[in-house]
Amino acid sequence: DAGITQSPRHKVTETGTPVTLRCHQTENHRYMYWYRQDPGHGLRLIHYSYGVKDTDKGEVSDGYSVSRSKTEDFLLTLESATSSQTSVYFCAISESVMVLAGGNNEQFFGPGTRLTVL
Amino acid sequence: AQSVTQPDIHITVSEGASLELRCNYSYGATPYLFWYVQSPGQGLQLLLKYFSGDTLVQGIKGFEAEFKRSQSSFNLRKPSVHWSDAAEYFCAVGATGGGNKLTFGTGTQLKVEL
């Protein structure tokens, strides 16, 4: 299994409080992603990173920010949590996106963080 | 924009029966296509992937999928289902540029009757 950990694994918080989720990898992969999973929606991309300090928005980025100061860590922050952000959050990593050059663009997923905002 | 449709929300099959899960995608160029499986309370595990070449792709756990460009489909199949295959299955399409952002379908929940 790819070395990906997420912390915390479970969190309950109140509306309006800040929350930070951490994704840590030991694979030295360049690309990292944050997804949220909700019933009836599958997984949707929040933000992704293509290198240290290089990040970009995904499909559902409103209300979320990210930071990547080291290759191994990708943080997802909810500045002021809302009930609509109750979800399961998955981190993923990928070695490459350059398949035609022989790279492997498979994304490996972490175990997830279940966040409940009351 | 890319999109994925999995028209079957739930499927029930008997153990030993064959299985086909449907996936249709929308993408303007040759896509990267993936099937992932998720067991309850777990993360996602890759079953198989398609980038180019042979349109019939073999994966882990006895699964295979066939890419049909004319139908914009990438259906997942297994000749004989085992009770341990009960899980949720996700089809995903990846952009060939821009960081390989994946777009997932809404998933198909597979139940296996003994």
Size of interface A-B (CB pairs under 8 A): 57
Task: Provide the CA B103 distance to its chain's centre, in angstroms.
Answer: 12
Residue-level pLDDT at B96: 66
Contacts of B36 in chain A (CB under 8 A): 109
pLDDT at A33 over 80: yes
Residue of B nearest to A89 (CA): B43
pLDDT tens-digit map of B57-111: 999 999 999 999 999 999 999 999 999 999 999 999 987 666 778 899 999 999 9
State the nearest Cα–Cα gap between B17 and chain A, in angstroms: 26
Tell me, what amino acid is at A28? Answer: N
pLDDT tens-digit map of B5-19: 999 999 999 999 999
Relative to beta strand B108-113, strand B10-14 is parallel
Tokens of B109: 């929940």
Residue with tokens 């997804």: A35
pLDDT tens-digit map of A85-115: 999 999 999 987 666 666 667 899 999 999 9
Question: By C-alpha distance, which of A41, A18, A21 is closest to A33?
Answer: A21
Residue-level pLDDT at B97: 66
pLDDT tens-digit map of A3-21: 999 999 999 999 999 999 9
Residue with tokens 């489909």: B73
| Contact between chains at A45 and B102 (C-beta distance less than 8 A) | yes
Q: What is the mean pLDDT of residues A14-32?
A: 96
Q: Helix, strand or coil for residue A42?
A: strand
